[in-house]
Structure formats: C-alpha cells, structure tokens
Amino acid sequence: MTSLKNLGWDDFFQSQLKTNETLIPGRISTENKTNYFVHTEFGEIIAEVSGRLFFSTESKSELPKTGDWVLLDYFEDEKKGIIQKVLERKTKLSRKAAGSKTEEQVFAANVDYVMIVHPIDESFNYNKLDRQLVVAYQSKAEPIVVLSKSDLCENIDDILQSINDNHNVQLIPTSTVTNEGIDKLKEIIEIGKTYVLIGSSGVGKSTLINKLFGKDILKTQEVRSIDNKGKHTTTHRELIVLPTGGLLIDNPGIRELQLWNSEDGLSQTFGEFSEYEDQCKYKDCTHTVENGCAVLFALENGEISQKRYENYLKMRKELEYLETKQNDSAAMNKKKKWKNISKEIKRYYKDVKDQNR
C-alpha cells in the first residue's frame, strides 16, 4: 500500500482539510463511465460521486478527473467510497472538448510534469510540438519533451538543435528498442511527483510506461499495419504508481488538441514574440497588416521564423474565436438564468394571488 505522500499528497492539499475532517483523502486513478478507481491509504477502491456533489457542480470540468485529490466517505467492508468533495487543483491540463460545444475538458489534474511524447523522425512536426507546449505551460506544470523511437532516426542532433533554437525545455531522446534514455527517465522521475504522458496515438506512451514499470502492465499496439492507423490502443486515463516511486498518467492518444484559455501558455511557448509585441505601434495590433508592427518587421528581418509566425497567428486566432464563443455561451446562459428567474417570480405572484383569493 502506498502512503499519501508517495501518492503526491503535500501541504497544499493538507491545508484544505478541516481540523476534524472525517472524510478520507484519495487520488483519482481512473474515471470510468459510472464510477472511479481511487488510490487511498487503504489501497485502491471503487467510488462514486455523491448526488450533492454531482448536482452542485456548474460544469463537468469540476467533477473528479484523473489525478484529482478528493475527500470520501469510506466503507471498509466493501472497499467502496462516496466522493463528497474535489480539492482545489494545483495544476490542471485542459483542452477544448471535441465537437461543437464550447466546453473545457480537464484531462489530468495535479501533475508536476507534462511529458510530451513525440516520435523523432525526419518528418518531425514542430507545429504540433509547439501546440503541446502551449497546453503544457498553461497547466502550470513543467514540460519535458520525450523524443520516442530514437532507434528509427538518423539525424537526431539536427532535430534537437532545431527545438533548442526556440525552446528552453528538457529534451530526452528515448527508445524502448535500444533502451536509449530509459535510465535517464528513471533518474529524473521523483517519488511522489506526477508525470502525465501526452501525445498522438502510436507514439509509444504505454510502451514507455511498461518499460519504466519493468513489466507489461498496459496494453500496447501490437504491429503497426495500415488499417491499424489512427486506432487508439489506450482507451482510458490511468494513474500508475511505479514500484520505484513516481506517478505516471497514461492517456489515450490525442487526435485534436484544441486550446482552452491558453494565453499564458502561448506567450511562454512563443517567447520571442512578446519582446516585439511590446514595440508594436498599436496596442491591439494583429501583427498582420498594421503599419509600425514590430513583429512584421522582425519577420522581414529574419529574426522571427516564418513557420513559427504562421503557427503563432493560427493559435492566437483560435483563442480569439474561442473567446467570442465563450462570451456567446455566457450570454446565452445568463439569458436562460433570467428566464428561469422571471418564471419563478411569475409563479410566486400567481401563488400569492391564488392564496389571497
């Protein structure tokens, strides 16, 4: 059984407990359709969310997610629990939910490091890496870039150099075939710290976790065939406690990583832009057509790369569009709320009138 501390419990969470707290703390491992697997001091238990918690949350993102610390009523005989409260999150990894809804999807909570797993090959997708970095920085956890399948790559140094040119982030080439980087990863993974692995399907996240665990505990894709392409092998998130300590969260491959309120993450990932943006003539400069735009000037002078400029603008536009949609849906909710209130008021007066009759 693992101690709370080894599960990531610290003063930040301790300070959220009442003095005479009767509920027990637990950490969400897996979110199932109707219940959760939760790590506790008493081992892994199955728990459900209480009706009160379910109905008091305003959005789905407030319900427990993998990595969350929760407080539960614990029923020892059945090894079951009822989740009464989600503790405040230290960090959270969010994206816009897939589909047309303007909704936040939290896919991991309270992680210390985001391991972005990216296969290293000639067709390395820098734009995708930038997007993942934006999401990682926004979460307030620290990113680490794991360059997987290094056994299949010949020009590793060139790619490392290109990433280093734009980012100040730890880069670890790994291979589960040659074992390159595996010891390095084992070395950096600390007891009681949480690492979430993100990346597209098939990049080798689960294989890597199996390697670090020292046993095949997770299902991995067997052979890569054409009709297997795009098929997700991992279908749920799971928080795994390594035998050597350290907590890893496996994720299903992410097909579409849409941004959710990531302004800070964006400026951190595109550090070179903020320097110029401050010098633009107009405060609300779009850096596209304006006279006196320092970003365009830097682009012309080759101080900013064309590729990064395009990717940056794309993500900025995505965030602006999201903001408009959020305002729209906030206005709609407000309207709905007032409609309900005026309905209630009408009903109240009708009742009063009826009573006086």
Ligand X SMILES: Nc1nc2c(ncn2[C@@H]2O[C@H](COP(=O)(O)OP(=O)(O)OP(=O)(O)O)[C@@H](O)[C@H]2O)c(=O)[nH]1
In the numeric block, which tokens belong to residue 57?
């949350």
**What CA–CA distance (Å, rounded) separates 68 from 168?**
29
* Spatial contact of 109 and 67, defined as CB atoms under 8 Å apart: yes
- Binding pattern for the stretch 163-192 against ligand X, x by CB under 6 A and - elsewhere: ------------xxx---------------
Q: How far is the CB of 25 from ligand X (least distance, A)?
A: 30
Stretch that binds Mg ion, among 102-110, 225-233, 280-288, 336-344 (CB under 5 A): 225-233
**Four-residue CA torsion sign, 151, 152, 158, 164:** negative
Q: How far is the CB of 310 from ligand X (least distance, A)?
A: 28
Q: Measured from the CB atom, is 40 or 150 closer to ligand X?
A: 150
Q: How far is the CB of 218 from ligand X (least distance, A)?
A: 7
**What CA–CA distance (Å, rounded) separates 209 from 196?**
11
Task: Tell me if 207 contacts Mg ion by CB under 5 A.
Answer: no
Q: How far is the CB of 181 from ligand X (least distance, A)?
A: 9
**What CA–CA distance (Å, rounded) separates 85 from 36?**
14
Task: Tell me if 293 contacts Zn ion by CB under 5 A.
Answer: yes
**What CA–CA distance (Å, rounded) separates 76 from 213?**
29
**Residue list 5-44, contact with Zn ion (CB under 5 A):** none
Pick the binder of Mg ion from 234, 262, 268, 311 (CB under 5 A): 234
Q: Measured from the CB atom, is 196 or 280 closer to Zn ion?
A: 280
DSSP per residue, 157-174: HHHHHHHHHH---EEEE-
**What CA–CA distance (Å, rounded) separates 301 from 304?**
8
Task: Tell me if 239 contacts Zn ion by CB under 5 A.
Answer: no
Q: Measured from the CB atom, is 203 or 247 closer to ligand X?
A: 203
Residue 175 contacts by C-beta under 8 Å, 6 or more apart in sequence?
148, 149, 150, 151, 181
Q: Which does 151 bind (CB under 5 to 8 A by kind): Mg ion, Zn ion, ligand X, none?
A: ligand X
Task: Tell me if 197 contacts Zn ion by CB under 5 A.
Answer: no
Max Cα-Cα span within the chain: 89
**What CA–CA distance (Å, rounded) separates 181 from 266?**
29
Which pairing describes strands 247-250 and 238-241: parallel, antiparallel, or unpaired?
antiparallel
**Residue list 95-154, contact with ligand X (CB under 6 A):** 148-149, 151-152
What are the residues binding Zn ion (CB under 5 A)? 280, 285, 287, 293, 295
What are the residues binding Mg ion (CB under 5 A)? 205-206, 233-234
What are the residues binding ligand X (CB under 6 A)? 148-149, 151-152, 175-177, 199, 201-207, 220-221, 224, 232-234, 252-253
